[in-house]
Structure 1
Amino acid sequence: MTRALDGTTVAAVTAGHVPYLFFVQLDFSQPLRVCSAGYNIDWNGVTWLGLGSLGSIDPIQEQASLEATGVRLTLTGVPTEYVAIMLAEQYQGRPCQIWFAPLREDLQLGVAPIRMFSGRMDVPAIDVGETASITVSAESKMVAWDRPKTRRYNHEDQIGRYPGDLGFIYTSQMVEKQLVWGR
């Protein structure tokens, strides 16, 4: 997949020495937003918790064909309140995003971070010791593209998705309805 990058981003990435960091967002009931900086960074209207080192991110691969890809990442030094959330709730299938951000020489954001991966989380492995280590696998959204959609175009399904929407209230009456044309 080709990406459109502006001139400033191209110059920042192709420089001789490129300091960089990663942003990772895992959408639990309380989103976990961390970055690989040793300090907190404000970006995109929120404060990203600086872990200093994220742990590891497996190489992110893109395919030119319609093929699902995934990524595996390990986060270390995660605050205990997020470990408690991960142990208590069901979040398989929730969004996971990873951004790459080249930095200026003063180690601040010089250009907008580039989204490297967007997908859905799978069941993690959690190792709790002195610090917590979380290993999460995530799959791209292409994993579900060939799954059948279980959408029923009836009133009950519409109310389940959009409470108060009466757009399909008369569809059950229309099944056996005879319409007379041309009078």
Structure 2
Amino acid sequence: MTRALDGSTIAAITAGHVPYLFFVQMDFSQPLRVCSAGYDIDWNGATWVGLGTLGSIEPIQEQASLEAIGVRLTLSGVPTDLIAITLGEQYQGRPCQIWFVPLREDLQLAGQPVRIFSGRMDTMDTEVGETATITVSAESRMVSWDKARSRRFNNEDQQSRYPGDRGFEFVPQMVDRQLLWGR
């Protein structure tokens, strides 16, 4: 996948020593936003909780073919008050995103973070102690490529997706209607 990088990001990653950060967002009812910094960072209109270290992120692969690619990441040191969100909600199929950004010498962002993964959460294991560890497996959106879509051309299905739309309201009346053409 081709990505556009700004000049400051290119300059930072071609330097001799490159400090960097990862941002991870998991969308529960209240998004869980964490980063690999040892301090909280304000970026993209939100405050990202600094964990100091994220734990681990499996190497993220990219394919030129239409193939589902997943990632497994471990977030360690998550404050226990943020864990209540993850334990009490349905998480499968919810968005999960990972960004990467190099840092300047003063440990500030060297450019705009680059999204390196965007997918949906699949499985999650949580270990709770003084701090918590979350291990999440996420799949790219391509995993649903082969799934059959169960859409119907009827009013009920249309109303579930677009309430108030009357486009299929009279379809049942037209099923057995005799139409005479050419008179």
TM-score, reference length from structure 2: 0.92
Q: Does 1:84 align with 2:81?
A: no
Report the counterpart of residue 123 of structure 2 in structure 1.
123
From the superposition, tell whether residues 178 and 18 of structure 1 become closer, same or farther in structure 2 (CA, over 3 Å).
farther
1:18-33 paired onto structure 2 within 5 Å: 18-33=18-33
Q: Give the C-alpha shift of residue 181 in structure 1.
A: 4.1
Report the counterpart of residue 155 of structure 1 in structure 2.
155
Distance of 1:80 and 1:178 partners within structure 2: 67
- Structure 2 residue ranges without an equivalent (≥5): none
From the superposition, tell whether residues 10 and 179 of structure 1 become closer, same or farther in structure 2 (CA, over 3 Å).
farther
Report the counterpart of residue 59 of structure 1 in structure 2.
59
CA contact (8 A) 2:26 2:33 kept: yes
Report the counterpart of residue 6 of structure 1 in structure 2.
6
From the superposition, tell whether residues 95 and 180 of structure 1 become closer, same or farther in structure 2 (CA, over 3 Å).
same
Q: Give the C-alpha shift of residue 19 in structure 1.
A: 1.2
User: Runs ≥4 in structure 1, deviation > 6 angstroms?
Assistant: none
Distance of 1:81 and 1:153 partners within structure 2: 46
- Structure 1 residue ranges without an equivalent (≥5): none
From the superposition, tell whether residues 37 and 156 of structure 1 become closer, same or farther in structure 2 (CA, over 3 Å).
same
Cα deviation per residue 1:44-90 (whole Å; 9 max; x = unaligned)?
Answer: 11111111111111110111111111000001121223322222111
Q: Give the C-alpha shift of residue 32 in structure 1.
A: 0.1
What amino acid maps onto 1:7 in structure 2?
Answer: G
Distance of 1:110 and 1:180 partners within structure 2: 70
What SS does the corresponding residue of 2:139 show, helix, strand or coil? strand
What SS does the corresponding residue of 1:135 show, helix, strand or coil? strand
Report the counterpart of residue 136 of structure 1 in structure 2.
136
What amino acid maps onto 1:171 in structure 2?
Answer: V
TM-score, reference length from structure 1: 0.92
Q: Give the C-alpha shift of residue 161 in structure 1.
A: 2.0
CA RMSD of aligned residues (A): 1.6
Identical columns (%): 75
